[in-house]
């Protein structure tokens, strides 16, 4: 499937991958909270966290370019908000600290999601008493994400193959049609899934 | 609008988290009580749908493109509680799987987009569509609600950032609100187009209110309203009084005046203050109201274009059998 | 011994009046493998949904369905669903859990089995379906054939006595089709296969039921019915190649 790029590295084999998912989730959370709560006057600690993360990254056997790419994808959002911090006294220092902290947290979460299949995370959340309806929703969402993204792509391709003179207004109407079809099909699929669940005795 | 880790201080993150947890808990309880079992898979599928829909590019100008956020669309199609659950699920997956939105900011993000955007947006939709009948009314209501919810969510986001002392009120509010007033236009447009397309293909999908969620009980309305009011009070109200001075001062200090976000209002109302009135809060409020009315009129025109008067309301053919 | 499945004068109408099934009657003996064929829109899928109690939605229609001698009613629903394993046409709709293990375990879980029993059922079912060791796999990484097998395992894990399959060989490549055929041949329980794949019917099914416009227009031994070229053509089907050449396959 073309979308396993969204989930390609979570099932590699490495010492990190083999850790229990609960441990990874708790560690990631703890790390993020530690970084976020840290008062700005301790850059040494941030450096230490960075080293830990780099070691974990190395152990995880995820290709470096992939990791960097994922962090780079999200960095603009960090920078975008951090830039606003410049407009006040002491802005530069605050900017640097914000970007540093946020990027470290980003790297932590990227490492978490790429060493732990989402299904495992979900199981941990379920064990932590997340409400059943939310767990079911997350589970089904994860399962059908790829199916829907695929459908959307196929529909766009089908439209593109019949578009000879791209005009912006047409494009918007077409995209809206694709989205509406996506919802309609999702709605129908949900009914079929309900039937399938009942067929296996869902109560 | 996803806030990354590190930008919110403890008190803001905790407060927003508590509000989000409360609202989400309420939404789950409502859904458990009113959602028929056959609609349960629809929540998950709708969340996947919103995620997939957000990936579709709408070309704007010169290489930039817009995207759907989808809170109001979800609320119109599924009802407010389902929308809260669906958008929360999207945010949780985006956070855990893609690091899009910080985990320490998850509460704030859920409050802004799922609660304010979803429930707030639905409330606006509900009021307007009750006042203006038919498909035209619903499209108008949805477009207007989509714009409003985008802006309100961004204002809350700005409030949270400011309350964390990460950024100054005077900088973050015009930037965020300004940008999202523009983004909101795209959101309104896409929401309207999608609704009209669904109405033409499967009109019965637009009658979810009674099936998925009967009119929310008085208790639920009060509870949601309380959560929203509290959130707005905590994060937004401090901005109202301080902003205009801050903006002027900052603008002077940095020669930043030229770079303020392009105002949506027409020129006669400079600096978001009505000339002649010196009470800045009132001026802001009037300017804001004027802007909102302009958007409402635009939404009306959009709905008119999409749902022409001559077409009879029920052109729907009977739904296709299996 | 009572018939595995007996259907007497079953009728069904969709909400707005389309009559999907009219007076359908047939019976399937224990251990038989029967094919259900007919043109698109004949009502095959609708009929299959009745065998599992998914239709009619309020379990009250003209005629009735009997599984192992007992009627399908609101009380017997859960037992029926355990006994009759229904495999849907679209594997994507039926494979709804995030991992293979969870999906195959779904049925046993609903039955209230212990953790250990569930684990055992899953391992056995996966082995029976020819995909041992697939427990940790994610559905979106699987091919169509693999997904079908997971769905089959999911159904087998409930220990059914009757297998009902809707278009099991559609979208499979020739090898996938051969493997499916072998798999089904090795599972000894009663089977009803709705399909367009007439060659499969010749290879697996001893008897065949022909459905068109909601009515049973013919039923009988496979070779006899499928060799009746005129009958086949009349109902938008055709005589399969396997029967055109008279050497044994």
- Dihedral angle, C-alpha B67, B68, B69, B74, nearest 10 °: -170
Q: Which residues contact C40 (CB under 8 A, 6 or more apart)?
A: C236
Beta-carbon separation of C96 and A196 below 8 A: yes
Beta-carbon separation of B321 and C96 below 8 A: no
Q: Does residue B312 form part of some domain?
A: no
Task: Report how far residue A96's alpha carbon sits from residue A83's, in angstroms, rounded to the nearest whole number.
Answer: 10
Q: Does residue B4 form part of some domain?
A: no
Q: Does A189 reach chain C within 8 Å, measured CB to CB?
A: yes
Task: Report how far residue A114's alpha carbon sits from residue B35's, in angstroms, rounded to the nearest whole number.
Answer: 35
pLDDT, tens only, B85-102 = 999 999 999 999 988 889
Preferred mutation among A21, A122, A187, A201 to probe C, highest tally of C CBs within 10 A? A201
Preferred mutation among C99, C103, C115 to probe A, highest tally of A CBs within 10 A? C99
Which of chain C's residues have a Cβ under 8 Å away from the Cβ of A200?
81, 106-107, 110, 154-155, 158
Beta-carbon separation of A196 and C141 below 8 A: no
* CA-to-CA separations, C237 to B184, C37, C192, C203, C226, in angstroms, rounded: 55, 8, 19, 17, 9
Task: Report how far residue B271's alpha carbon sits from residue B144's, in angstroms, rounded to the nearest whole number.
Answer: 24
Q: Does residue B321 form part of some domain?
A: no
Whether C63 has a pLDDT exceeding 80, the answer reads: no
Task: Report how far residue C174's alpha carbon sits from residue C178's, in angstroms, rounded to the nearest whole number.
Answer: 6
Higher pLDDT: C14 or A41? It is: C14
What is the reported pLDDT for B45?
A: 96
What is the reported pLDDT for C171?
A: 87
Preferred mutation among B45, B160, B205 to probe A, highest tally of A CBs within 10 A? B45
Helices B280-306 and B134-163: angle between axes, nearest 10 degrees: 150
Chain B nearest CA to A2, separation (Å): 14
C158-173 burial: b if 16+ Cβ within 10 Å, else e:
bbbebbbbbbbbeebe
Beta-carbon separation of B104 and A171 below 8 A: no
Chain B nearest CA to C17, separation (Å): 10
Task: Report how far residue B231's alpha carbon sits from residue B225's, in angstroms, rounded to the nearest whole number.
Answer: 10
Task: Report how far residue C206's alpha carbon sits from residue C1's, in angstroms, rounded to the nearest whole number.
Answer: 19
Q: Does A132 reach chain C within 8 Å, measured CB to CB?
A: no
Q: Does A119 reach chain C within 8 Å, measured CB to CB?
A: yes
Q: Does residue B73 form part of some domain?
A: yes
What is the reported pLDDT for B261?
A: 39
Q: Which residue has the tokens 């195959």?
A: C104
Show me where the domains of chain C are located: 5-244
Beta-carbon separation of B321 and C14 below 8 A: yes
- Residue B205, number of CB atoms within 10 A of its CB: 19
Whether C79 has a pLDDT exceeding 70, the answer reads: yes
Whether B39 has a pLDDT exceeding 60, the answer reads: yes
Whether B278 has a pLDDT exceeding 50, the answer reads: no
- Output the six-digit token pair for C8: 């007497």
Mean pLDDT of B281-304: 81
Q: Are C46 and A195 in contact (CB under 8 A)?
A: no
* HEC string for chain C: CCCCEEEEEEEEECCCCCEEEEEEEEEECCCCEEEEECCCCCCHHHHHHHCCCCCCCCCCCCCEEEECCEECCCCCHHHHHHHEEEECCCHHHHCCCCCHHHHHHHHHHHCCCCHHHHHHHHHHHHHHCCCCCCCCCCHHHCCHHHHHHHHHHHHHCCCCCEEEEECCCCCCCHHHHHHHHHHHHHCCCEEEEECCCHHHHHHHCCEEEEEECCEEEEEEEHHHHHHCHHHHHHCCCCCCHHHHCCCCC
Which of chain A's residues have a Cβ under 8 Å away from the Cβ of B190?
172, 175-176, 179
Q: Which of A4, A145, A193 sits opposite C96 (nearest CB)?
A: A193
Task: Report how far residue C16's alpha carbon sits from residue B318's, in angstroms, rounded to the nearest whole number.
Answer: 8
- Output the six-digit token pair for B296: 């409402």
Beta-carbon separation of B52 and A152 below 8 A: yes
Mean pLDDT of B206-217: 59
Which H/E stretch holds residue A89?
A: none
Task: Report how far residue B177's alpha carbon sits from residue B71's, in angstroms, rounded to the nearest whole number.
Answer: 17
Beta-carbon separation of B322 and C46 below 8 A: yes
β-bridge pairing B58-59 and C207-212: unpaired
Q: List per-residue pLDDT tens for chain A, 203 residues long.
A: 334 456 678 778 888 888 899 999 999 999 999 998 877 667 888 888 999 999 999 988 888 898 898 888 888 888 888 888 887 777 788 888 889 999 999 999 999 999 999 999 999 999 999 999 999 999 999 999 989 998 888 888 887 777 766 677 777 888 888 899 999 999 999 999 999 999 998 87
Question: Could you give the percent of chain C with pLDDT greater than 70?
Answer: 96
What is the reported pLDDT for B179?
A: 86
Q: How many domains does chain B have?
A: 1
Q: Are B69 and B187 in contact (CB under 8 A)?
A: yes
Task: Report how far residue B187's alpha carbon sits from residue B220's, in angstroms, rounded to the nearest whole number.
Answer: 27
Helices marked H in B64-133: 71-78, 80-98, 106-109, 121-131
Task: Report how far residue B211's alpha carbon sits from residue B14's, in angstroms, rounded to the nearest whole number.
Answer: 35
pLDDT, tens only, C21-40 = 888 999 999 999 999 999 98
What is the reported pLDDT for B270?
A: 37
- Half-sphere exposure of A89 toward its Cβ, with a 13 Å CA cutoff? 1
What is the reported pLDDT for A86?
A: 82
Task: Report how far residue B307's alpha carbon sits from residue B316's, in angstroms, rounded to the nearest whole number.
Answer: 14
Q: Which residues contact B110 (CB under 8 A, 6 or more apart)?
A: B20, B23, B24, B87, B88, B91
Beta-carbon separation of C93 and A119 below 8 A: no
Q: Which residues contact B290 (CB under 8 A, 6 or more apart)?
A: B265, B269
Beta-carbon separation of A191 and B90 below 8 A: no
Chain A nearest CA to B255, separation (Å): 11
Which of chain C's residues have a Cβ under 8 Å away from the Cβ of B318?
16
Task: Report how far residue B220's alpha carbon sits from residue B21's, in angstroms, rounded to the nearest whole number.
Answer: 15
Which of chain C's residues have a Cβ under 8 Å away from the Cβ of A189?
92-93
Beta-carbon separation of C18 and B318 below 8 A: no
What is the reported pLDDT for B125?
A: 94
Task: Report how far residue C157's alpha carbon sits from residue C122's, in angstroms, rounded to the nearest whole number.
Answer: 6
Task: Report how far residue A174's alpha carbon sits from residue B194's, in angstroms, rounded to the nearest whole number.
Answer: 10
Q: Which residues contact C58 (CB under 8 A, 6 or more apart)?
A: none
Task: Report how far residue A61's alpha carbon sits from residue B57's, in angstroms, rounded to the nearest whole number.
Answer: 33
Helices marked H in chain A: 15-18, 21-37, 43-59, 64-84, 91-115, 118-127, 132-160, 168-199
pLDDT, tens only, C157-173 = 999 999 999 999 988 88
Q: What share of chain B is helix, strand, coil (3-state, %, to 5)?
A: 75, 0, 25
- Half-sphere exposure of C227 toward its Cβ, with a 13 Å CA cutoff? 10
Which of A146-150, A162-166, B17-21, B159-163 is predicted most confidently?
A: B17-21
What is the reported pLDDT for B218?
A: 76
Contacts by residues B280-287 (CB-CB < 8 Å, ≥ 24 positions apart)? B280/B241, B280/B243, B280/B244, B280/B245, B281/B240, B281/B241, B283/B244, B284/B240, B284/B243, B284/B244, B285/B240
Mean pLDDT of C144-167: 93
Chain A nearest CA to B211, separation (Å): 14
Banded pLDDT at B1 (limits 50, 70, 90): confident
- Output the six-digit token pair for C7: 């259907």
* Maximum pairwise Cα distance, chain B: 68
Which of chain A's residues have a Cβ under 8 Å away from the Cβ of B68?
179
DSSP state, B57? -
What is the reported pLDDT for A182?
A: 92
CATH number of the CATH domain containing B250: 1.10.1760.20
Q: Does A5 reach chain C within 8 Å, measured CB to CB?
A: no
Peptide bond into B215 cis (omega under 30): no
What is the reported pLDDT for C212?
A: 93
Higher pLDDT: C167 or B167? It is: C167
Task: Report how far residue B79's alpha carbon sits from residue B113's, in angstroms, rounded to the nearest whole number.
Answer: 15
Beta-carbon separation of A119 and C98 below 8 A: yes
Nearest CA in chain A to B320: A188
What is the reported pLDDT for A127?
A: 94
Q: Is the pTM of this model over 0.80?
A: yes
Complex ipTM: 0.92
* CA-to-CA separations, C74 to B188, C15, C25, C65, in angstroms, rounded: 47, 20, 21, 12
Beta-carbon separation of B7 and A172 below 8 A: no
Q: Are B158 and B173 in contact (CB under 8 A)?
A: yes
Beta-carbon separation of B321 and C15 below 8 A: yes
Which H/E stretch holds residue B312?
A: none
Beta-carbon separation of A175 and B86 below 8 A: no
Beta-carbon separation of A141 and B102 below 8 A: no
Beta-carbon separation of A84 and B175 below 8 A: yes
Nearest CA in chain C to A122: C98
Q: Does A86 reach chain C within 8 Å, measured CB to CB?
A: no
Chain A nearest CA to C113, separation (Å): 13
| CATH code of the region C5-244 | 3.40.50.300
Which H/E stretch holds residue A39?
A: none
Name every residue in C having a CB less than 8 A away from some CB of B: 14-16, 18, 20, 45-46, 96
Residues in chain C: 249
Which of chain C's residues have a Cβ under 8 Å away from the Cβ of A119?
98-99, 102, 138
Mean pLDDT of B91-114: 93
Q: Write out residues 109-138 of B within 8 Å (CB-CB) of C.
A: none
Q: Which residues contact B320 (CB under 8 A, 6 or more apart)?
A: none
Mean pLDDT of B7-26: 92
Range of the domain at B45: 10-219+226-306
Mean pLDDT of B142-151: 94
Residues in chain B: 322
Q: Which residues contact C151 (CB under 8 A, 6 or more apart)?
A: C87, C88, C91, C94, C95
**What are the φ and ψ backbone dihedral angles of B79, each rounded to 5 degrees?**
100, 160
What is the reported pLDDT for B82?
A: 94
Nearest CA in chain C to A190: C93
Whether C248 has a pLDDT exceeding 70, the answer reads: no
Beta-carbon separation of A198 and C140 below 8 A: no
Which of chain A's residues have a Cβ under 8 Å away from the Cβ of C92?
147, 189
Q: Are C130 and C183 in contact (CB under 8 A)?
A: yes
Which of chain A's residues have a Cβ under 8 Å away from the Cβ of B59?
168, 171-172
Q: Are C199 and C240 in contact (CB under 8 A)?
A: yes
Banded pLDDT at B9 (limits 50, 70, 90): confident
């Amino acid at each position: 499937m073309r979308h396993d790029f969204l989930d390609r590295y979570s099932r590699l084999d490495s010492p990190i991958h083999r850790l229990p998912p609960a441990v990874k989730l708790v560690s990631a959370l703890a790390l993020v909270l530690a970084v976020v709560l840290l008062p700005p006057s301790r850059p040494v600690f941030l450096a230490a966290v960075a080293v830990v993360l780099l070691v974990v990254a190395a152990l995880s056997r995820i290709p470096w370019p992939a990791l960097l790419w994922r962090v780079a994808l999200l960095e603009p959002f960090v920078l975008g908000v951090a830039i606003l911090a410049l407009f006040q006294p002491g802005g530069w220092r605050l900017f640097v600290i914000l970007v540093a902290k946020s990027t470290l947290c980003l790297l932590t979460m990227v490492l978490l999601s790429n060493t732990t299949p989402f299904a495992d995370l979900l199981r941990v959340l379920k064990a932590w008493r997340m409400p059943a309806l939310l767990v079911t929703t997350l589970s089904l969402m994860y399962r059908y994400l790829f199916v829907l993204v695929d459908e959307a792509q196929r529909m766009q391709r089908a439209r593109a193959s019949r578009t000879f003179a791209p005009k912006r207004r047409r494009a918007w109407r077409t995209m809206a049609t694709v989205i509406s079809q996506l919802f309609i099909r999702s709605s129908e699929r949900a009914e079929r899934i309900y039937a399938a669940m009942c067929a296996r005795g869902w109560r | 609008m996803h806030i990354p880790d590190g930008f919110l201080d403890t008190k803001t993150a905790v407060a927003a988290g508590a509000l989000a947890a409360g609202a989400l808990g309420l939404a789950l309880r409502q859904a458990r009580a009113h959602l028929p079992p056959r609609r349960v898979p629809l929540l998950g599928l709708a969340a996947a749908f919103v995620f997939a829909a957000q990936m579709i590019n709408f070309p704007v100008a010169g290489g930039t493109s817009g995207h759907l956020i989808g809170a109001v669309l979800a609320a119109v199609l599924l009802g407010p509680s389902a929308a809260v659950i669906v958008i929360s699920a999207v945010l949780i997956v985006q956070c855990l799987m893609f690091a899009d939105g910080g985990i320490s900011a998850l509460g704030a993000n859920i409050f802004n987009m799922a609660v304010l955007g979803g429930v707030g947006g639905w409330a606006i939709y509900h009021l307007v569509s009750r006042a203006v009948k038919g498909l035209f009314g619903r499209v108008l209501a949805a477009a207007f609600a989509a714009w409003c919810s985008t802006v309100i969510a961004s204002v809350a986001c700005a409030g949270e950032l400011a309350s964390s002392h990460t950024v100054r009120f005077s900088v973050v509010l015009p930037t965020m609100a300004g940008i999202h007033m523009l983004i909101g236009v795209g959101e309104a447009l896409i929401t309207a187009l999608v609704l009209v397309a669904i109405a033409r293909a499967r009109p019965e999908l637009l009658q979810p209110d009674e099936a998925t969620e009967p009119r929310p009980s008085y208790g639920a309305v009060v509870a949601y309203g309380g959560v929203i009011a509290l959130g707005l009070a905590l994060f937004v109200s401090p901005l109202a009084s301080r902003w205009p001075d801050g903006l002027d001062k900052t603008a002077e200090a940095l020669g930043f005046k030229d770079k303020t976000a392009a105002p949506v209002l027409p020129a006669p109302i400079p600096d978001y203050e009505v000339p002649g009135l010196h009470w800045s809060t009132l001026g802001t409020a009037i300017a804001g109201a004027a802007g909102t009315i302009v958007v409402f009129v635009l939404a009306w025109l959009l709905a008119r274009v999409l749902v022409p008067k001559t077409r009879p309301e029920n052109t729907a053919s009977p739904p296709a059998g299996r | 011994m009572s018939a595995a499945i007996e259907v007497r004068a079953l009728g069904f109408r969709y909400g707005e009046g389309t009559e999907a099934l009219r007076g359908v009657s047939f019976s399937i003996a224990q251990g038989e493998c029967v094919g259900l064929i007919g043109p698109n829109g004949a009502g095959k899928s609708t009929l299959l949904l009745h065998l599992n109690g998914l239709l009619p939605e309020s379990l009250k229609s003209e005629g009735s369905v009997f599984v192992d001698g007992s009627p399908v009613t609101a009380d017997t629903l859960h037992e029926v669903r355990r006994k009759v394993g229904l495999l849907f046409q679209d594997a994507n709709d039926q494979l709804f859990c995030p991992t293979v293990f969870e999906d195959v375990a779904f049925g046993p879980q609903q039955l209230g089995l212990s953790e250990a029993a569930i684990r055992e059922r899953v391992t056995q079912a996966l082995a029976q379906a020819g995909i041992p060791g697939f427990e940790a796999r994610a559905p979106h990484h699987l091919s169509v054939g693999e997904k079908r097998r997971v769905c089959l395992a999911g159904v087998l894990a409930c220990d059914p006595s009757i297998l009902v399959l809707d278009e099991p060989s559609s979208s499979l490549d020739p090898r996938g089709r051969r493997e499916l055929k072998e798999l089904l041949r090795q599972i000894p329980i009663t089977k009803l296969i709705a399909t367009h794949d007439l060659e499969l019917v010749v290879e697996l099914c001893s008897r065949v039921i022909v459905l068109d416009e909601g009515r049973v227009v013919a039923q009988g031994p496979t070779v006899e019915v499928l060799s009746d070229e005129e009958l086949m053509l009349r109902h938008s089907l055709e005589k399969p190649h396997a029967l055109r050449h008279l050497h044994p396959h």
